[in-house]
Amino acid sequence: MTDPAPQAAGPSGADAPEAPELEIKTALHDFAQEFAEFQTELTRKLSQTEERLTMLDRKTALSPARPVLAQADAGETLHHKAFDAYLRRGDEAPMRGLEIETKGLSTLQAADGGYLVDPETAETIRSTLASTASIRAIASVVTVEATSFDVLIDHSDVSTGWATEASTIAESDTPKIDRIPIRLHELSAMPKASQRLLDDSAFDVESWLAGRIASKFARAEAAAFIHGDGVDKPRGFLDHDTVDDMIWTWGNLGYIATGANGDFAAANAADSIVDLVYALDATYRANAVFVMNSKTAGAVRKMKDTDGRFLWSDGLAAGEPARLMGYPVLVAEDMPDIDTDSYAIAFGDFEAGYTIAERPDLRVLRDPFSAKPHVLFYATKRVGGDVSDFKAIKLLKFGEA
């Protein structure tokens, strides 16, 4: 029996052993490609997550998630820390870094302009100024970003009347508008402290600085809002021309005379105060306030009406002002004393009659060289003031006419 002839090895026989190897190579190639894509995508997502976390950390640092409940919490803010470092050591780097981080806050200023005061310190100063016995407490206060503020007064009257279907209404008069510009002037204070005191960590430098600045500013403002001549300072209401209220014209302040030189009239002394009250239009009396100094208040509070009742009454609760004929009294020590032809008492709606314009920013420049071994702090703000409605304020003149 003969063996079958051997078959020649063909192509299929040669490829059969290589098929599994090729399949494995293809699978490994696909796996490597998919892993590379997965690795690229994972790297991209990790980068995005890191970027979001960085932005979140920065936002949390600039704006704490929990509200400020106490001074200790406020002390942790970036601005507070940076400003404290500037005041104590003259270290400007934190303030410059804060400028870079916050961009729009504009904390960084020119070297000769100083830096913006920490917001909480600035608010403390504003609160102190508002609570002092000054015209600021009863005037209209506006915040502006420009160097002046214009008050527009419309003197024209709008035509009114009873209308029917066939009747016509007369046109209003041509508008008559007065523009009263209130220019802002630079108010400055320069308290000083020793470097040894500033180096003491227990010394609250910002509270000390706020108190000193507020005290200086309050005294300067209070005097200017009453007597200022408008040259490099606000113009006080007593700087304007005065006329007898019977011939009053716009641009002047009207007055009522007591009838005696340097004193109230000998008979019916209180009559001049009654006349002063009713010289003011009823529209202004509802919000009117008396303004006088302590000496004048001491003389007025002794007055009685014809029935023997005192015209003056003290506030019924703590913090309430005293009242004269039912109207609040602001005791402002910069008002003149009772003297011949002096205007020792003012009465009016000062919210309508006097406007104070100021910029919101308060700057401090540290000077460690001019008064060694002390450090000077040059603080500045811009403020202006002037009469905005001449009908809203009346004066009592201590003279015969």
Phi and psi at residue 42, to the nearest 5°: -65, -40
What percentage of the chain reaches a pLDDT higher than 70?
A: 73
Query: 95 and 238: one domain?
Result: no
Give the pLDDT score at 52.
66
Q: What is the rounded end-to-end Cα distance, in angstroms, of the chain?
A: 163
Q: Residue 61: what pLDDT?
A: 45
Whole-angstrom distance, CA of residue 253 vs CA of residue 240: 7
Residue range 258-276, pLDDT digits in tens: 999 999 998 888 899 999 9
Position with higher pLDDT, 363 vs 130: 363
Lowest-confidence segment of 132-141, 193-202, 275-284, 374-383 by average pLDDT: 193-202
Mark which of 79, 108, 137 sits at the end of a domain: 108
Q: Which of 147-156, 280-289, 290-299 has the lowest mean pLDDT?
A: 147-156
* 79 or 140, which is more confident: 140
**pLDDT greater at residue 16 or residue 80:** 80
Q: Which of 77, 104, 113, 99 is nearest to 206 (CA)?
A: 77
Q: 97 falls in which pLDDT band (50, 70, 90)?
A: low
Which conformational region is residue 374 in: left (phi greater than 0), alpha (psi within -120 to 50 degrees), or beta? beta
| pLDDT at residue 272, rounded to an integer | 94
Output b/e per residue, 269-298; b: 16+ Cβ within 10 A: bbbbbebbbebbeeebbebbbbbbbeebbe
* Overall average pLDDT of the 126-142 stretch: 85
Q: At which of 108, 135, 150 does a domain end?
A: 108
pLDDT of residue 174: 59
Is residue 27 included in any domain, yes or no?
no
> Is residue 263 in some structural domain?
yes
Over residues 29-87, the pLDDT tens digits come to 887 888 888 888 888 877 777 666 665 555 544 444 444 444 444 444 666 677 677 67
Look at 232-241, 251-260, 375-384 and tell me which has the smallest mean pLDDT: 375-384
Confidence check: pLDDT of 166 > 80: no
The pLDDT score that the predictor gives to residue 130 is 74
Per-residue confidence band for 252, with pLDDT thresholds at 50, 70 and 90: very high
Question: Which two structure tokens, joined as six digits, stand for 80?
Answer: 């507070």
Range of the domain at 62: 41-108
Instruction: Output 32 or 160, whichever has higher pLDDT.
Output: 32
The share of the chain scoring above pLDDT 90, in percent, equals: 37
Confidence of residue 114 (pLDDT cuts 50, 70, 90): low
353: in domain: yes
**For 400, how many CA atoms within 13 A lie in the half-sphere containing its CB?**
0
Q: Is residue 255 part of a domain?
A: yes
* pLDDT given for residue 74 in this prediction: 43
Report pLDDT for 64. 45
3-state secondary structure of 392: coil
Residue 259 CA to residue 363 CA, distance in Å, equals 49
Mean pLDDT of 126-137: 81
CB 245 within 8 A of CB 233: no
The reported pLDDT for the residue numbered 60 is: 47
Contact 198, 209 (CB under 8 A): no
- Taking the C-alpha atoms of residue 6 and residue 15, their distance in angstroms, rounded to an integer, is 19
As for how many domains the chain has, the answer is 2
Instruction: Tell whether 239 and 92 lie within a shared domain.
Output: no
Per-residue exposure over 225-239, b if at least 16 CB sit within 10 Å of its own CB, e if not:
bbbbebeebbbbbbb
Distance of CA 153 to the CA centre of its chain: 24
Please identify, among 108, 129, 162, the residue that sits at the C-terminal boundary of a domain.
Answer: 108
Residue 145 lies in a domain: no
* pTM as predicted: 0.70
Provide the token pair at 98. 């804060």
Helix (H, G, I), strand (E, B) or coil at 126: helix
Question: Would you state the pLDDT for residue 94?
Answer: 60
Helix ranges (H only) for 16-75 are 19-62, 71-74
Task: Note the pLDDT of residue 167.
Answer: 61
Q: Name 177's Cβ contacts closer than 8 Å, sequence gap at least 6.
A: 152, 153, 154, 155, 156
Q: What is the total residue count of the chain?
A: 401
- Please give the single-letter amino acid code of residue 124: T
Instruction: Give the pLDDT score at 79.
Output: 62
**240, pLDDT greater than 60:** yes
Crossing angle between the packed helical segments 78-89 and 93-102, to the nearest 10 degrees: 150
Contact at 8 Å (CB) between 330 and 138? yes
Question: What pLDDT, in 10s, does the model give residues 338-385?
Answer: 999 999 999 999 999 999 999 988 888 888 888 888 888 888 899 999
pLDDT at 267: 87
Over residues 265-292, mean pLDDT: 94
Query: Which pLDDT score, from 0 to 100, does residue 232 have?
Result: 92
Residues 96 and 241 occupy one common structural domain: no
- Determine, yes or no, domain membership for 219: no
Which of 22-31, 78-87, 136-145, 215-224 has the lowest average pLDDT? Answer: 78-87
Residue 114 lies in a domain: no
| Cβ within 8 Å of residue 155, ≥6 positions away | 176, 177, 178, 250
Instruction: Confirm whether 272 is domain-assigned.
Output: yes
pLDDT at residue number 102: 40
